[in-house]
Structure 1
Amino acid sequence: MEWLVSLVGVGLVLAVLRDLFHTLWHPTRHGGISRFVMTSMWRLARRSRLRPRMLGLVGPLAMVTVVGLWAVIIILGWAIIYWPHMPGAFTLTPGSRAAQQPALLDSVYLSLVTVATLGLGDITPGEGWLRLASPLEALVGFALLTATVSWVLEIYPALTRRRVLAIRLALLHRSAPTTEHIDSVAGAALLDGLATEVVRVRIDFTQYAEAYYFHDGEDHSSLAAVLGYAVALARQGQAARRPDVRLAGDLLAGALDDLATILDQRFLHLDGTTTEVFAAYAADHDRKVTQP
Structure 2
Amino acid sequence: MDFEDTLWTLLGLALILLMLADVFHTLLYPHGSGPVGRAIMRGFWLLTRKVRGGASSIAAPLAMAAVIAAWASLAAIGWALLYLPHLPDGFIYGDGVPRGGNFAEALYVSIVALSTVGFGEIVAAHPLLRLVMAFQAVAGFGLLTATVSWILQMYPALSRRRALAHQLNLFREAAGTDGISALDPGHAATLLESMAENVASVSIDLVSFHESYYFHEVEQRGSLPATIAYAHGLASDAQGTGNAELQFAGRMLQAALDDLAEVLRGKFGHLGTTSLDVFDSYALHHKHRRAPETGSS
Q: TM tier, shorter chain? A: over 0.9
* TM-score, with length taken from structure 2: 0.94
Structure 2 residue 45 is the aligned partner of structure 1 residue 39: no
**1:29, CA displacement in angstroms?**
1.9
Q: Determine the C-alpha separation between the residues in 1 that align with 2:101 and 2:138.
A: 26
Alignment of 1:107-256 (within 5 A): 107-175=106-174, 176=176, 177-182=178-183, 184-256=185-257
Distance in 1 separating the partners of 2:142 and 2:159: 26
Q: Deviations over 1:86-122 (max 9, x none)?
A: 111111112211x1x3421211110010001011111
> What SS is found at the alignment partner of 2:171?
helix
- Mapping for residues 78-93 of structure 1, pairs under 5 Å: 78-93=79-94
SS at match of 2:58: helix
What is the deviation of 1:69?
A: 0.9
User: Does 2:13 match 1:4?
Assistant: no
Partner residue, 1:28? 31
Aligned positions, number: 288
Instruction: Report if aligned partners of 1:268, 1:281 keep a CA contact under 8 Å in 2.
Output: no
The AA in structure 2 aligned to 1:255 is A
Q: 1:184 to 1:81 in 2, by over 3 A?
A: same
Partners in 2 of 1:266 and 1:278 — Cα distance?
Answer: 14
Q: How far 1:55 sits from its partner (Å)?
A: 1.1
Amino acid at match of 2:89: G
Query: How far, CA to CA, are the matches of 2:179 and 2:115 in structure 1?
Result: 61
SS of the equivalent of 2:118 reads coil
2: CA distance between counterparts of 1:166 and 1:180? 21
CA distance in structure 2 between the partners assigned to 1:51 and 1:219 by the alignment: 17
CA distance in 2, matches of 1:248, 1:181: 16
Could you tell me how far 1:7 is from its partner in structure 2?
1.9
Partner of 1:56: 57
Alignment correspondent of 1:16: 19
Distance 1:182 1:246, change over 3 A: farther
Separation of aligned partners in 2, 1:281 and 1:179: 25
Per the alignment, do residues 234 and 217 of structure 1 end up closer, same or farther by CA in structure 2, a change over 3 Å counting? Answer: same
* Residue type at the aligned position of 1:226: T
Q: Is the 8 A contact 2:22 2:35 kept in 1?
A: yes
Specify whether residues 179 and 65 from structure 1 end up closer, same or farther in structure 2 by C-alpha distance, changes over 3 A only.
Answer: closer
Tell me, in whole angstroms, the C-alpha distance in 2 between the residues paired with 1:165 and 1:245: 20
Q: Percent identity?
A: 38
User: Residues of 2 paired with 1:121 and 1:187: CA distance?
Assistant: 68
Contiguous gaps of at least 5 residues in structure 1: none
Letter of the 2:35 counterpart: G
> Given that residues 188 and 245 in structure 1 are in contact (C-alpha distance below 8 angstroms), is that contact kept between their aligned partners in structure 2?
yes
- Distance, in Å, in 1 between the alignment partners of 2:240 and 2:172 is 18
The answer to whether the 8 A contact 1:183-1:240 is kept is no
Alpha carbons 2:41, 2:60 under 8 Å: kept: yes
Question: What is the aligned partner in structure 2 of residue 70 from structure 1?
Answer: 71
Query: Secondary structure, in 3 states, of the residue corresponding to 1:91?
Result: strand
* Aligned residue identity for 2:134: P
Which amino acid is the alignment partner of residue 252 of structure 1?
L
Supply the distance in 2 between the matched residues of 1:146 and 1:131 (Cα, whole angstroms). 23
2:235 is aligned with what amino acid? Answer: A
Partner amino acid, structure 1, of 2:262 = T
Q: TM-score, normalised by structure 1?
A: 0.95
